[in-house]
Amino acid sequence: MKELHKYLKEINQHTEKITLAKFAGDMLEPTFGKYLGNFVNIMLYTCRPKSILELGLGSGYVTSILASYAKNMNGKLLSVDIAKEKIDRARNELSIYNDVMELIEYDIVDYLEESNDRYDLIVQDSNPYIYKKTLANIANLQTKGDVLLIHDANVYLNEYCPEDLKSVMEEFNEYLINFSLYQASLIDLEDGLWFCVRS
Ligand SMILES: C[S@@+](CC[C@H](N)C(=O)[O-])C[C@H]1O[C@@H](n2cnc3c(N)ncnc32)[C@H](O)[C@@H]1O
């Protein structure tokens, strides 16, 4: 628990990604860095969402920012991930947020088809290959003025990005810009983040 407190304190001091690497350990994978993490934190306290849905929890870095906000501001967070080990680790590492955070092991595609819940804020950072096919179902869970964040907008600019991922993300970016249910603006930091407001 001491380690977790130290980690969260470091996040709040906007430390380098190396700290995240230590936390993520052998499950490290591409994630938000300190600038996007800081952006999300500021956005939370500006937009003040009450109900938050996170799609893809990965290392738990963004989860910890969302859950910390929810605890401070009387919000609720639901985080969905298909990988049992990620859910188990977050349950263990982020247990101080259990009263405001629910973690479920489920396929996001199925969750979005079956859910009738409403979310003021949705954070999509799961798998770019399903971004396009899930966008309409995400929009069904939001109403006018709600916010959707979608990670990886700029990943295709990265020289190490595989060719098929490049084309999937470029195609999705085009689709999103023309999608009438959201007004999308690019936050041009790190791998890029779409800040979308529900029309
Ligand atoms: C890039 S990581 C998320 C990183 C996270 N934002 C962080 O701060 O570390 C993507 C996550 O989405 C999950 N995922 C991918 N496809 C999924 C699906 N169809 N349903 C549920 N989870 C999925 C993966 O298991 C992985 O944990």
- By three-state DSSP, how is residue 104 classified? strand
pLDDT score of 96 more than 60: yes
Please state the domain extents for the chain: 2-198
Residue of the CA atom closest to atom 4 of ligand 1: 58
Per-residue pLDDT at 99: 97
Q: Can you state the angle between helices 2-12 and 17-24, rounded to 10 degrees?
A: 150
pTM as predicted:
0.89
Query: To test the ligand 1 pocket, which listed residue (11, 53, 63, 82) has its Cβ within 8 A of the most ligand atoms?
Result: 82
CA of 39 to the centre of ligand 1 (A): 20
6-14: long-range contacts, CB 8 A cutoff, minimum separation 24: 7/64, 8/64, 8/68, 11/37, 11/61, 11/64, 11/65, 12/41, 14/38
| Residue 190 CB–ligand 1 contact under 6 Å | no
Is the pLDDT reported for residue 18 higher than 50?
no
Which CATH class name applies to 2-198?
alpha beta
Under the banding of pLDDT at 50, 70 and 90, the label for residue 33 is: confident
Q: What is the mean pLDDT of residues 24-48?
A: 81
